[in-house]
Amino acid sequence: MPSSAPLIRSKANAHKPEAPISYDINIPYVDVDKQSKVSTPYPQYLPTWDPMWFNPLPPFDYHDPALRVKDRSKRNLLGPDAKVNHIQPSIGSVVEGVQLSTLSDAAKDELALLISERKVVAFPDQDLIDAGPEEQERFMRYFGKPNYQPVSGTVRNHPAFHVIHRDGNRDEIERFLSQRTTTTLWHQDVSYEIQPPGYVMLGLLQGPEVGGDTVFAATDMAYKRLSPTLQAFLDTLKVVHSSAKMINHTRLTGGLVRKDPVDTVHPLIRVHPVTGEKCLFLNAEFITRIQGMKEPETKWMTDFLMNHIITGHDFQARVRWQPRTIVMFDNRSTTHSAIVDYLDEEYGAKARHIFRLIALGEKPIPVYDEFE
């Protein structure tokens, strides 16, 4: 006969919820340990989480500086000392002999054109790295309105900075890789904003001797490789981008949230205002649905297109970082991922410290005027 006594479970065997794994292993969402503050040569760029709040981004007029260029030879930007080497035929260039800190307005216009044409441009050994946050922000404001970070660490008193910092963090990395098969996270930056980034700057403050590259894919070339039948269908689709997943994850990990989730409808195919090319505008981390499609259909289409982009090595460029390098890229015609391969089995990640500044651009231009 069963006992009527209440069942008593040992507290030692009680289920304990596991700590959530990192949303993006490149980015710390809580304060770094004190040891890393000793090892970095740029302590003023260590991530901070000062409480502040940002309202939704209102619409604004945007004029791409590249459209002001009349002479496409770029003689103001690329003087006699400039040396340009292409990474791949259709995407990516390394420019030496040019200091971004000394560019005239005409040269900055030509820089915007060069980035639009080559999509990713790396500038090694830049004085601008040591010029400080104010000068770096001033430079990027020429290319568009700044974006203020909703969740990630920033430079104190400079919330437009998005700080990417890794140093050690062995336990977190082991927990991440216990559930994930790769550290790559392909994305287009803050695609959920009503006017997403046009031009983006990455600046290397500290990095491993080998590893920590960033790989970019050309979304206009990815579009061209699709069949005309599929292109015609994709041209008509509207996609919902949302920051809710990122916001919710940050709250789960105890991080600071500075902005409510943003949901925006964008065309899946956007027309580049400078080149006129059609580009896939796709971010699997932020897309919640394709309008007019059911959930399994949205997943199937998103998975297919992301796999097409990720495996398209013939329209990708892998940027190898050098000391004091600044990389500028076109967020409208590329998607990218950092490569976390700089791991030490005993300690964790080797030191890698990068800042990002964004210049928000135009509202994505659809293929058809009737898009609302």
Residue-by-residue DSSP string for 110-123 = HHHHHHHHHSEEEE
Closest Cα to residue 65, out of 17, 22, 104? 104
Q: Mention every residue, 6+ apart, whose C-beta is less than 8 A from residue 364.
A: 196, 266, 267, 270, 281, 332
Q: Count Cβ atoms within 10 A of the Cβ of residue 198 and give its class: 0-12 exposed, 13-18 middle, 19 or more buried.
A: buried
30 contacts 172 by C-beta, under 8 angstroms: no
Task: Extract the tokens encoding 84.
Answer: 């340009």
Predicted confidence pLDDT, tens digits, the chain (372 residues): 444 444 444 444 545 556 655 555 555 545 555 555 557 899 999 988 889 999 999 999 999 999 999 999 999 999 999 999 999 999 999 999 999 999 999 999 999 999 999 999 999 999 999 999 999 999 999 999 999 989 888 999 999 999 988 766 666 777 777 777 887 889 999 999 999 999 999 999 999 889 899 999 999 999 999 999 999 999 999 999 999 988 888 888 778 899 999 999 999 999 999 999 999 999 888 999 999 999 999 999 999 999 999 999 999 999 999 999 999 999 999 999 999 888 777 656 778 899 999 999 999 999 998 765
89 contacts 221 by C-beta, under 8 angstroms: no
pLDDT of amino acid 10: 46
Could you identify the residue written with the tokens 């796999």? 307
DSSP sequence for 32-59: PPHHHHHH-S-GGGS-B------PPPPP
156 contacts 48 by C-beta, under 8 angstroms: yes
Integer Cα distance of 106 and 149 in angstroms: 30
Q: Mention every residue, 6+ apart, whose C-beta is less than 8 A from residue 370.
A: none
Domains and CATH numbers, the chain: 64-360 (3.60.130.10)
Q: Mention every residue, 6+ apart, whose C-beta is less than 8 A from residue 88.
A: 315, 316, 317
Q: What is the dihedral of CA 218, 261, 196, 101, to 10 degrees?
A: -100
Task: Extract the tokens encoding 211.
Answer: 């590893």
Task: Extract the tokens encoding 71.
Answer: 């002479």
CB atoms near residue 119 (< 10 Å):
30
Task: Extract the tokens encoding 115.
Answer: 């980035």
Helix H, strand E, coil C: the string for 229-287 is HHHHHHCCCEEEEECHHHHHHHHHCCCCCCCCCCEEEEECEEECCCCCCEEECCCCCCE
Tell me if residue 159 falls in helix, strand or coil. coil
Whole-model pTM: value is 0.90
pLDDT of amino acid 146: 97
pLDDT of amino acid 2: 45
Closest Cα to residue 144, out of 189, 92, 78? 189
Task: Name 121's bridge partners.
Answer: 93, 328
Integer Cα distance of 182 and 184 in angstroms: 6
pLDDT of amino acid 59: 94
367 contacts 271 by C-beta, under 8 angstroms: yes
Strand pairing of 93-96 and 120-123?
A: parallel
Integer Cα distance of 147 and 113 in angstroms: 21
Integer Cα distance of 195 and 181 in angstroms: 33
